[in-house]
Amino acid sequence: MSSSPPSYQHTVLVAVGSGLACHLVFKHYEPTAPSAHLGLLVAIPGILTWIFIPHCPNFALAFASSFFIYVTSLVTSIVIYRLGLFHPLAKYPGPMMCKLSKLWMSYICTTGKQHIYYHSLHDKYGDIVRIGPNELSIRDAAAVDPMMGSQGLPKGPVWAGRNPEHVGKALIEISGPEHNRRRRPWNRAFNSEALKGYEEIIENRATQLMQTLGNQIGPTNLAMWISYFTFDFMSDMAFGGGSEMLRDGDRDGIRQALHNSSVLTTAMGHSPWFGQYYKHISMGAEKRRFREFTIQRAQIRMKEGSVTKDVFHHFLNEDGTDTHPPSLSEVTADSTLVIVAGSDTTSTLMCSLFWFIMCNATVYRRLRDEIDNVFPAGENVLDPSKHVHMNYLNAVVNETLRLLPPVLSGSQRVVEKGSGAAALGSHMIPEGTAVFSHFYSLHRDPRYFSPLPDTFWPDRWLSEGARTSPFSPTRKGPANIDVVLDRTAFTPFSFGPSNCVGKNLAIQEIRMVVCLMLQSFDMQLAEGYDAQRWEKDLEDRLISHVGELPVVLTARKS
């Protein structure tokens, strides 16, 4: 006697229960492998199809029924849990869309205004905001050290979605002892002795930039030329050459490929599971193209050896310092990072600085006067030993870094599961939670920078007797105002063991080019250019995308 099939009601309950059970399992981790996605969304409904067949006229309808009921149960369970009172982050405020899914932040990333969105959330909700189902953004200087210091948290899952699993990890993606080992050659490549050896490379490229700009007639896009300069310079630094964009432009589209690929790459950081499908998307081809360029240059550099002690001299352990030199996959992974971290971030900072001073005539004149006083006619304006002591130049650089840091939205860390809750300032963060220290918001917080935290006022970085009032910038003498300047909240190059190892090179490069530029040219924004466009066009793509910066350059008389 054959048993009768379960009733339709029981069949539906089995499908609903399967969805609930899957949520109970997968809420503890987010699978990124396509095979896991296939099992979750196809295999389980496929198995359930067999108990639906007696109640459906054909297999297709049985599968559709099982799939719909199973997925509806799964999604409903997820929504109720993430919005409910029993979620570990239930007490933290934030938009409902952020609590539901990281896909919302992926969408925000595609707009390029992630930094503005986070900033608006902090203005609305306070110092700690829930920006994902299991993620918080923190605007609190007291949280910086416990989050990113020597005893801080490991890197978060944002990196898991940016590269397919078969691609080697660059230094920026790893934490702990492995990061310490991999960072050693970077530290040698950017220490003070190494920087001294790079001065001639900067001088040669900076001189070429001035010659190129001097040949321009009428308004010229300064942002484009500076980006070409930094790309050529970093190619010299990393590979001993291989790029001549100042001479030829981006004729091979390599720089454009980097920018195009970063649009989707940043969005995928919020949805790591999507990263494994990246290689099948056209924009993934752009990223592969840029990576192949850097790997090709690295291979050529490895084959030909070094003429000078460039960055790869240290990466390749050519002086035999490391007993365990890096592998080929590590070197090629870091080759991409060298160009990205050293070119786009520096060019954006440099252009932003020029934009700020051209919008502030008093700042422009004071900076130019300092340069002229330190470097009278006939003296070498590219002498970095004097730049260190130029107080106003360094104040202008710091103020640019404060308002528009290289990585606008900061750095993600994670409280690992099994480690217990972590104390970040006055906040106890549950395990399994990803956290951001949002640099853009931190740098504009009046508790740490006042007065006028959103205003470009370099004098805040000067000693009290050297300041002029931001409310009357032409007035001589000190500013009789209370100034708050909390350097613990100033993190333009991140913080701790994973901070930007090339920050001193970037600062040196910016100082040299700014001094040479203001000694060589009078600068002004092109007529008809809306000065507010620079910040409006700025896009947060991990690296910053910038718009045009049309300027008119007039050669200064000696």
How does 244-277 read in b/e, with b if 16+ C-beta sit within 10 Å? ebbeeebeeebbebbbbbbbbbbbbbbbbbbbbe
Structure token digits, residue 9: 């009601």
Is residue 114 within 8 Å of 542, Cβ to Cβ? no
**Which positions ≥6 away from 181 have C-beta within 8 Å?**
324
Q: What angle do CA 284, 290, 292 make, to 5 degrees?
A: 100
Q: What is the DSSP string of 222-234?
A: HHHHHHHHHHHHH
- Cα–Cα distances in Å, from 440 out to 140, 141, 310, 490, 494? 12, 12, 33, 10, 11
- Cα–Cα distances in Å, from 297 out to 182, 308, 489? 20, 16, 38
- Cα–Cα distances in Å, from 441 out to 9, 78, 117, 133, 269? 53, 31, 10, 21, 20
Residue list for the binding site for heme:
500
Kind of pairing, strands 543-545 and 427-429? unpaired
DSSP H or E segment with residue 56: none
Residue list for the binding site:
500
Kind of pairing, strands 135-138 and 434-437? parallel
